[in-house]
Amino acid sequence: MSVLIDKFDVFAGGFWLTLQICVLAAIGALILGAVVAVLRISPVPPLRAVGTAYVTVFRNMPLTVVMFFAAFGLPALGSNADFLRIPGLDAIFTRLGTDLPYFRFALIALVLYTAAFVCEALRSGVNAVPAGQAEAARSLGLTFGQNLRYVVLPQSWKASVVPLGSVIIAMIKNSALIGFFGVVGDLSATADQLTSAEGYAFVPVAIGISIGYLIMTVPLGALLDRIEKRQAVAR
Amino acid sequence: MSQQNSVLYDVPGPRQRRITLISSVVAAVLVLVGVYYLIYRPLDEKGQFTSELWGPLVDPGNENFSLVWDRIGIGLKNTLIAAVLAIISSLVVGTLIAVLRIQLKSLTRRRFTGLATPVSYLLRGLSVLLSAVTRFCVEVFRGLPVVITIFFVARGFPEFGITFDTLWYLVIGLTIYNSVVIAEILRSGMEGLPGGQAEAAAAIGLSPFQTTRMILLPQAFRIMLPALISQLVVVLKDTSLGFIISYEETLNIGKQIIGALDNPIQVYAVIAVLFIAVNYSLSKLAQYVQRRLSRGRRTAGTPAQNPPPAALMSQAESSGQGV
């Protein structure tokens, strides 16, 4: 068990890196997912087709394939994803600015993959609003923007907050994959490093890594359960 | 889509239809231009459309064509074997866990009257303890990433002197994660049933186990079938994680082909198309089943069941790679 104490800084570093990529990917996926959701509910058919195609492709593809595309396809195109070296942001998330591009590749893959699920969560929220609500708003003479702002979005937000939370939990778990794609030092890569290269006993390392992930996923899941129960009562 | 529009927009009049048509044309042109400049041009400049990169994959006349597709066929076969084994075992284990948890829960409510006081207290304590232990295990394995579970299985079992084929590590890892998720889906399905079902079963003298087996479980399966099918899509997608323990599934074969031919984008594109085709048809199947079921329920005239919790449903849908 001493590995948990001796190597505490390694575990903590892995946890910190996993947390970093999760925060960045969550922000990116929420933004991109909202854009795709807008495309999917827009009145213009070609834009709708683009949104639908995006969701179909990324929902049915394993994240592993998306990761491979990002990690081997982008270098083949001569790109190092340098556009993600955002000044200011890379001072906080130091991995964004390094010369090794794998953190950025993994981030791109996670964002692209998760955005499809975020889009579906948001869209199912809009679908859950009864049609009479928007109709009543229109018959009151509210414009399209007012309709969305005051009637549809506040209600759809309630319906999509729990699915969105599940998507984010799923994304945290998916982020374990990045350790196998050349991102050095996240929680899953730490497991590999400590057991195979440094020869520590397996069970304590496994416990440490598990605790690292459970700290992130279990409280979030409990929070979602609470929100859902509250909403069920309110309804 | 039409349902979507009816919520947000009125039925368009002639002017609105004209505006939609014009903006459609503009948007289509913009999308095509965007695709050309952002995707086609960079790919073309890097020579990604040459026949030596695509040839082995799409041209039957190419010398490597049959070789490459033989390998991909092996990979697909291995993927399907792993997926089918994992699906069957996680359905079986998941059902068992769900039944176990429901049984333990009903056991914790029992008072064990008629026994000596210490014995009844012991039995009550034991059932509470067991219930807590199973709950803990379910929460832990639901919260762990499936990659990590597979990795732990592949690393941990040899540590204790148990060695298998990599296929079995993958199947066991997938089963641990997915059976727990399936158990939660089934359990919430059973708990969402109207209370009258279990009460009626008790009234005609069925034991708690008989109630679960004959009354609750079949109905839970029926309600939760769409969520179960989406979870099966997730299992199929997750078999691609076999590459981390070097199981020879489709992606791993793809990596070998890339090692020989050096055409990553092309090989991954083909593999992506294969996965999308299979998973898309499975999701269509789930939608079809859902429609059929909702139709069947209406004609049967049974009372409306409580909808399954949104979190579980969406988790089943979104947990791609486990999640």
Q: What percent of chain B has pLDDT over 70?
A: 84
| Residue A102: predicted pLDDT | 80
The confidence band for B89, taking pLDDT boundaries of 50, 70 and 90, is: very high
**What is the full DSSP assignment across A83-148?**
GG--TTHHHHSGGGGSS-THHHHHHHHHHHHHHHHHHHHHHHHHHHS-HHHHHHHHHTT--HHHII
Residue A208 C-beta-side C-alpha neighbours within 13 Å: 30
The rounded distance, in Å, linking the Cα atoms of B179 and A29 is 28
Q: Which of B140, B233, B310 sits opposite A214 (nearest CB)?
A: B140
The confidence band for A131, taking pLDDT boundaries of 50, 70 and 90, is: confident
**What is the full DSSP assignment across A196-227?**
IIS---HHHHHHHHHHHHHHHHHHHHHHHHHH
Q: Which of A65, A69, A152 sits opposite B275 (nearest CB)?
A: A65
**What is the full DSSP assignment across B83-107?**
HHHHHHHHHHHHHHHHHHHHHHHHH
| Residue B236: predicted pLDDT | 86
* Cross-chain Cβ contact B143/A213 below 8 Å: yes
Residues 6+ apart with CB under 8 A from A68: B251, B254, B255, B264, B268
Report the residue of chain B nearest A180, measured CA to CA: B244
Domains along the sequence of chain B with CATH:
86-298+307-318 (1.10.3720.10)
Q: Does B79 touch chain A (CB under 8 A)?
A: no
| Residue B102: predicted pLDDT | 86
Residue with tokens 């109709």: A135
Q: pLDDT tens for residues A58-73?
A: 988 888 888 888 888 7
pLDDT at A164 over 60: yes
| Residue A30: predicted pLDDT | 92
Q: Decide if B223 contacts B191 (C-beta within 8 A).
A: no
Nearest 10 degrees: CA dihedral of B104, B106, B109, B110? -90
The rounded distance, in Å, linking the Cα atoms of A136 and A96 is 48
| Residue A88: predicted pLDDT | 62
Angle at B91 between CA B185 and CA B214, to 5 degrees: 75
* Cross-chain Cβ contact A177/B241 below 8 Å: yes
The confidence band for A31, taking pLDDT boundaries of 50, 70 and 90, is: very high
* Cross-chain Cβ contact A77/B264 below 8 Å: no
Residue among B185, B181, B180 at smallest CA distance from B221: B185
Q: Does B31 touch chain A (CB under 8 A)?
A: yes
Kindly list the residues from chain B whose CB atom is less than 8 angstroms away from the CB atom of residue A180: 147, 243-244
Q: Does B290 touch chain A (CB under 8 A)?
A: no
Q: Which of A173, A192, A202 sits opposite B323 (nearest CB)?
A: A173
Q: Does B268 touch chain A (CB under 8 A)?
A: yes
Nearest 10 degrees: CA dihedral of B257, B263, B269, B272? 30
Residue among B254, B43, B34, B321 at smallest CA distance from A116: B321
Amino acid sitting at position A178: I
Kindly list the residues from chain A whose CB atom is less than 8 angstroms away from the CB atom of residue B12: 43
Report the residue of chain B nearest A60, measured CA to CA: B276
The rounded distance, in Å, linking the Cα atoms of B221 and B317 is 17
pLDDT at A19 over 70: yes
* Cross-chain Cβ contact B311/A224 below 8 Å: yes
| Residue A89: predicted pLDDT | 67
Q: Does A162 touch chain B (CB under 8 A)?
A: yes
Kindly list the residues from chain B whose CB atom is less than 8 angstroms away from the CB atom of residue A210: 140, 144, 148
| Residue A93: predicted pLDDT | 67
pLDDT at A193 over 80: no
pLDDT at B316 over 60: no
Contacting A residues, span 98-127, partner chain B, CB-CB under 8 Å = 113, 117, 120-121, 123-124, 126-127
pLDDT at B168 over 60: yes
pTM score, whole prediction:
0.83
Report the residue of chain B nearest A117, measured CA to CA: B318
Domains along the sequence of chain A with CATH:
2-234 (1.10.3720.10)
* Cross-chain Cβ contact B148/A147 below 8 Å: no
pLDDT at B3 over 50: no
Report the residue of chain B nearest A204, measured CA to CA: B156
Q: pLDDT tens for residues B215-244?
A: 888 888 888 887 888 888 888 888 888 888
* Cross-chain Cβ contact B315/A170 below 8 Å: yes
Residues 6+ apart with CB under 8 A from B239: B79, B82, B83, B86, B170, B174, B249
Mark residue B47 as left, alpha or beta (left: phi above 0; alpha: psi -120 to 50; beta: remaining).
Answer: left
User: Tokens in use for B120?
Assistant: 């009844």
Give the phi and the psi of residue B274 in degrees, each rounded to 5: -60, -50
Q: Does A208 touch chain B (CB under 8 A)?
A: no
Q: Chains A and B: how many Cβ contacts under 8 Å?
A: 208
Q: pLDDT tens for residues B255-293?
A: 888 777 777 788 888 888 888 888 888 888 878 887 887
Q: Which of A68, A138, A162 sits opposite B10 (nearest CB)?
A: A138
* Cross-chain Cβ contact B7/A152 below 8 Å: yes
Angle at A25 between CA A22 and CA A31, to 5 degrees: 140
The rounded distance, in Å, linking the Cα atoms of B289 and B68 is 36
Can you state the angle between helices B264-300 and B217-238, rounded to 10 degrees? 170
Tell me how close the Cα of A42 comes to any Cα of chain B, in angstroms.
8
pLDDT at B321 over 90: no
